[in-house]
């Protein structure tokens, strides 16, 4: 592990140190700081308010920021002009139409399928195409339920109210996920066109379904722990009891999302190619996905096998050049775990530029809510001037934001272009989001290179 940011030593101002010769307690040293009040003073707050309102700038800020969105008021016009949708390195097929995850947390599945669909569009000469995100969503929920129950059985010796078990039960079937989890689903269940398994209401609005399954799994966890620590008869019943629990989750999913295509059963996909010629393919979900590793598909995708992509991360808390993983994070038991290679931002950006020059889109993970505005579709640390509005300075480093839970990887999107200066230095990046075409520039966002430095944590590239 790399050394963390230097932290101030613990203050010992009020620590009594036992005197070794006499056993008596020495007096605490004089405090090194000035005396202060540990309570909120009404009179002091009143004085602060008086001094604040004496400044005309603060009165103007009050009028504007108390009745409007602070982000909108403090957005810098010069930044919105500079962050244009113009790029000199851009992939030939970006993928269309713009997708919409609606009221769900499926961004990672949308970003992953938006990467896979570009390979399919090239292979079959398509103008527009969309894979079924709901298909992977269905199987992901079922696999996560099984993963949760297996983790509960693996931690029966842990305290139920301890940090580990509580973390496992916090969001056992949450909508979120990682690239490796999407890769697991595609390998086990394959892919299908969206036209064959479109979103149901509960795929687009997943809160009620996820809440119901979560409640059921928490109840099931208590029962599994009871049986696993009970009599030999109780332990022998674990398999049958768990099967019943999984069947109940399956029932919820099937009723709320609809029966999905069978991974091994043939479907027929009919479509028009770029030349408006009718085409028809009969295959299975597994064959449809595995065909992307065929010679024809790899050739169509500039020699890249989409199934072989892997994750780079930038986590400055840890040494660069080492493998990182997240304990007990996953979905499909027995398949790949969530894993990354930790690199510096220069290495990460070079890999991204190489991918775009090779005509391949890039799945990436970031903290999308920081210094961004979804209306113009801009992500830039210079976009919102909080110092101007509040006379405050925000200056944490990327590592410090991670250590204090100020920042985390919250959203996955796709990179399709970059603007370079002197053929090598990136200035801004083109981002395909999954919030529909009513946000940004018809669904497209622009990310400044400095925002990438501060708030991008993961990219998925070709080894």
Q: Say if residue 292 is exposed, middle or buried (CB neighbours under 10 Å; 0-12, 13-18, 19+).
A: buried
Parallel, antiparallel, or unpaired: how do β-strands 362-366 and 411-421 relate? antiparallel
Element (H, E) at 223: helix 207-228
Report cis status (omega within 30 of 0) of the bond before 154: no
The rounded distance, in Å, linking the Cα atoms of 414 and 362 is 5
433 among known catalytic residues: yes
Among residues 100, 331, 411, 419, the one annotated as catalytic is 411
Closest CA to 287 of 304, 265, 272: 265
The rounded distance, in Å, linking the Cα atoms of 312 and 180 is 12
411 among known catalytic residues: yes
107 among known catalytic residues: yes
Among residues 100, 107, 331, 342, the one annotated as catalytic is 107
> Residue 306 in 3-state DSSP?
helix
The rounded distance, in Å, linking the Cα atoms of 390 and 387 is 5
CB 351 within 8 A of CB 54: no
Q: Which residues contact 355 (CB under 8 A, 6 or more apart)?
A: 361, 362, 415, 461, 462
Phi (first) and psi of residue 300, to 5 degrees: -65, -20
Any alpha helices (H) in 28-87, and if so which ranges? 42-53, 56-65, 70-74, 77-82
The rounded distance, in Å, linking the Cα atoms of 263 and 247 is 18
CB 356 within 8 A of CB 419: no
Element (H, E) at 430: strand 425-432
Helix-strand-coil split of the chain, %, nearest 5:
40, 15, 40
User: What ranges make up the beta strands (E) of 53-176?
Assistant: 89-90
- Give me 183's structure tokens: 């890769």
Active site residues: 107, 411, 433
């Amino acid at each position: 592990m790399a050394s963390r940011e230097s932290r101030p030593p613990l203050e010992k101002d009020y620590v009594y140190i036992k005197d070794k010769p006499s056993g008596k307690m020495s007096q605490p040293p004089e405090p090194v700081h000035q005396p202060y009040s540990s309570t909120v003073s009404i009179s002091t707050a009143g004085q602060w308010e008086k001094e604040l309102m004496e400044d005309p700038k603060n009165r103007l800020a009050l009028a504007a920021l108390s009745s409007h969105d602070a982000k909108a008021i403090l957005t810098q016009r010069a930044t919105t002009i500079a962050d244009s949708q113009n790029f000199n390195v851009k992939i030939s097929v970006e993928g269309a139409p713009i997708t919409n995850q609606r009221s769900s947390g499926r961004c990672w599945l949308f970003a992953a399928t938006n990467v896979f669909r570009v390979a399919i569009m090239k292979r079959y000469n398509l103008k527009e195409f969309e894979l079924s995100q709901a298909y992977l969503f269905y199987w992901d929920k079922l696999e996560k339920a099984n993963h949760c129950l297996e983790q509960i059985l693996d931690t029966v010796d842990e305290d139920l109210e301890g940090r580990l078990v509580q973390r496992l039960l916090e969001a056992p079937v949450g909508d979120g996920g990682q690239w490796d989890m999407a890769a697991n689903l595609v390998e086990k269940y394959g892919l299908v066109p969206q036209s064959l398994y479109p979103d149901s209401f509960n795929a687009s609005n997943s809160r009620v379904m996820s809440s119901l399954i979560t409640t059921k799994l928490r109840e099931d966890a208590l029962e599994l722990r009871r049986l696993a620590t009970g009599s030999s008869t109780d332990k022998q019943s674990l398999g049958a009891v768990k099967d019943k629990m999984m069947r109940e989750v399956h029932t919820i999913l099937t009723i709320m999302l609809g029966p999905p295509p069978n991974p091994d059963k043939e479907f027929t996909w009919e479509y028009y190619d770029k030349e408006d010629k009718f085409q028809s393919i009969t295959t299975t979900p597994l064959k449809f996905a595995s065909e992307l590793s065929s010679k024809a598909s790899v050739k169509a995708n500039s020699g890249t096998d989409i199934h072989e992509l892997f994750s780079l991360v930038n986590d400055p808390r840890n040494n660069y050049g080492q493998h990182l993983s997240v304990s007990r994070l996953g979905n499909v038991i027995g398949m790949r775990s969530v894993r990354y290679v930790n690199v510096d931002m220069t290495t990460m950006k070079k890999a991204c530029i190489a991918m775009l020059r090779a005509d391949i889109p890039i799945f990436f993970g970031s903290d999308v809510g920081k210094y961004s505005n979804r209306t113009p579709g801009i992500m830039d640390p210079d976009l919102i001037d909080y110092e101007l509005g509040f006379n405050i300075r925000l200056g944490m480093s990327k590592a410090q934001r991670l250590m204090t839970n100020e920042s985390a990887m919250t959203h996955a999107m796709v990179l399709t272009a970059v603007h370079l200066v002197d053929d090598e230095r990136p200035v801004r990046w083109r981002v395909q989001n999954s919030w529909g075409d009513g946000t940004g520039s018809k669904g497209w966002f622009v990310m400044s290179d400095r925002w990438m430095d501060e708030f991008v944590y993961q990219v998925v590239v070709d080894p």
